[in-house]
Structure 1
Amino acid sequence: MRELVVETDGLTKRYGDRLAVDRVSMTVMRGEVYGFLGPNGAGKTTTLRMMLGLIRPTAGSASVLGRPAGRPDVTARIGALIEGPGFYPYLSGRDNLRTMARYQGLPNTEVDRVLEMVDLAGRAKDAFKGYSLGMKQRLGVAAAMLGSPDLLVLDEPTNGLDPAGMADMRALVVSLAEAGQTVILSSHILAEVQEICDRVGVINNGRLLRESTVADLRGGATLRVRATPEDAALAVLMRMAGDEGVRRIGNETLEVDLPATATPDVVRQLVTHSIDVHEVAVAERSLEDVFFEMTGNRTNSGQELVS
């Protein structure tokens, strides 16, 4: 059984009359990439701050690495980037990290190591104030990785990066988990979460709506069949998938609750009944689709959630 790294039990935070986090109970296991998702004001950042011991819960508890959140011995084993990095503007990227490393009792070689990992070694001598948004974000991730912490909490680590930089950051996160570190990842880009996260927690209005593997959350694949005459195709497919297993979703298009492996048999049966098959495609719900169904939040682009 995998080791439990983070566990919250009824975690609650109230600010006056406003309930920011409402009895959140979640678990994060060692070596996994856990996606923490929620629309604006959902309570995501407040939950993470309680998990890190930065604010006290009104009720409930959070334990990290088997100890109460916020204890100095626990905090020393966590690296975090929450709501953007903060550094001395007139120091170079390297000197900013050296200052942080000195407080942690780490050698300068550790600074060079993390700069290489985030592909910032070539600009390490430049002043932080001259960094682009993406470079600042890289430096923030590098700071979180100092000392190879057991747990990394990364809030929007790909913010400001170009597509190549985003791909590099995703690969880095996966490699960290494969090496045994645990990563809690918050991201606007749901396709990114779908690609690299093992499990996700979806929070809305302060409540954890669902915690599951990405695969279970998305559900199984279905087949979309475009065939004529449609009524005849519907009758054949209902015999194969059941009366409730077939739905009309568009012009001459039917959605069938059958796996991709059933495709040859579906085509064979339709052709046997003199039905013209124009298209058979495998349809899978994306994490984006599931998220919007659960929270009712959708942006204009349909590709990013509101943080």
Structure 2
Amino acid sequence: MQRLVVRRGRSLVLDQVGFQLAPGLIIGLLGPSGSGKSTLLRSIVGNQIISGGTATVLGQPAGHKSLRHRVGYMTQAASVYDDLSVKQNIAYFAKILGQRAAEVERVMETTDLTDQSDRLAMDLSGGQRNRVSLAIALLGSPDIVILDEPTVGLDPVLRADLWAMFSRLAATGLCLVVSSHVMDEAMRCDEVLLLREGKLLGQMTPEALMESTGAQNPEDAFVALIAAGGTAQPPSRKASVPKHRAAAEGKQP
């Protein structure tokens, strides 16, 4: 994304936003409600009309037909039909996307839903419904998966389970962009994009955020970054070891 601008009427929703994505990373999009996170995610997917700048994804303009199977998208609202089972929900979307039946089984296994395959969606917990939506977003083995506040409203245990799953997916080389307004979740990411009032304050590792601000927690670090007017410093990917890789090597992320 380069100098991305989105207007809604007279309101400036995104103002000169620019950043880069990379494979094998969990990239957190952090910011308060109303900061433009969902608009930015829709811009990546290609569902948002942009007013200026460029939105290039995997070498193509965002929304290009060649990206339909390369970018998965999980919206805030769970993409499930209550009167269908888990498997029926996923199979329905797989058919729309032209995917084989084997793909349904694959994504259910990936998201730990195989044992829940015959349960109606209306009987699922919030975390399980989110897993179904995630499974749908993973159909076709995309290169990038966009997740719009997937952990909102979940208890700490379910949130931890989902983040563990995100780490496993990133370990396969998938790039995940996960939005949240809970600043503590920044520490679970490999990099963070910090957004406020439509402006990107910076893209960096969580560790760099904490070190550069001298804050004791991510929320205070975010406030300090606002006071400093943000930073243009790009993330140091050579020095950064993705958290899932650090865990596999027995290192502290």
Q: When the two structures are superposed, what TM-score results if normalisation uses the length of structure 2?
A: 0.83
Whole-angstrom CA distance in 2 between matches of 1:104 and 1:49: 19
CA–CA distance in 2 between the matches of 1:47 and 1:127? Answer: 33
* Unmatched tracts of structure 2, length 5 or more: 228-253
Q: What does residue 16 of structure 1 align with?
A: 9
The residue correspondences of 1:1-307 to structure 2 (distance < 5 A) are 8-195=1-188, 197-219=189-211, 285-295=216-226
Q: Distance in 1 between matches of 2:22 and 2:131?
A: 25
How far residue 220 of structure 1 moved from its aligned partner, in angstroms, is 6.5
Letter matched to residue 132 of structure 1: S
Partner SS state of residue 85, structure 1: coil
Letter in 2 for 1:205: E
Counterpart position of 1:4? none
Structure 1: where are the runs of 5+ without partners? 1-7, 223-283, 297-307
1:212 Cα offset (Å): 1.2
Cα deviation, residue 90, structure 1: 1.3
Letter matched to residue 287 of structure 1 = P
- Residue type at the aligned position of 1:83: Q
- What is the Cα deviation at residue 92 of structure 1? 1.1
Q: Deviations over 1:26-60 (max 9, x none)?
A: 11112111111111111111111111110110111
Q: How much has 1:206 moved relative to structure 2?
A: 0.7
The answer to whether the Cα contact below 8 Å between 1:25 and 1:208 also exists between their aligned partners in 2 is yes
Aligned length in residues: 227
Distance 1:100 1:204 in 2: 34
Q: How big is the shift at 1:294?
A: 3.4
Q: 1:293 to 1:171 in 2, by over 3 A?
A: same
Moved over 4 A (4+): none
Instruction: Name the structure, 1 or 2, with higher relative contact order (CA <8 Å, separation 6+).
Output: 2
Instruction: Find the aligned partners of 1:134 and 1:191 in 2 and give their Cα distance.
Output: 19
- Cα distance in 2 for residues equivalent to 1:138 and 1:220: 35
Counterpart CA distance in 2 for 1:13 and 1:40 is 17
Structure 2 distance, partners of 1:28, 1:40, is 22
The residue identity in structure 1 corresponding to 2:73 is A
Q: From the two aligned structures, give the one with the greater strand fraction.
A: 1
Task: Kindly state the Cα deviation for residue 86 of structure 1 after the two structures are TM-superposed.
Answer: 2.3
Tell me, in whole angstroms, the C-alpha distance in 1 between the residues paired with 2:208 and 2:142. Answer: 29
Residues 119, 165 of structure 1: alpha-carbon distance in 2 compared, 3 angstrom cutoff: farther
Q: How far did 1:160 drift?
A: 4.3
In 2, are the aligned partners of 1:134 and 1:160 still within 8 Å (CA)?
no
Deviations 1:138-168 (A, max 9, x none): 1111111112210011122223444333222
2-structure distance, mates of 1:175, 1:134: 17
Distance 2:44 2:154 in 1: 27
Structure 2 CA distance for partners of 1:295 and 1:84, relative to 1, 3 Å = farther
Q: Using the alignment, how far apart are the partners of 1:55 and 1:147 within structure 2?
A: 22
Q: What is the CA–CA distance in structure 1 between the aligned matches of 2:130 and 2:91, rounded to whole Å?
A: 17
> What is the rounded CA distance, in whole Å, between the counterparts of 1:28 and 1:87 in structure 2?
28
Distance (Å, rounded) in 1 between the aligned partners of 2:152 and 2:33: 16
Q: Does structure 1 conserve the Cα–Cα contact (< 8 Å) formed by 2:7 and 2:51?
A: yes
What is the SS of the residue equivalent to 2:119?
coil
Q: Percent identity?
A: 36
**TM superposition shift of 1:199:** 1.0
Whether the 8 Å CA contact 2:41–2:148 is kept in 1: the answer is: no
Write the distance in 2 (CA, Å) between the matches of 1:71 and 1:285: 43
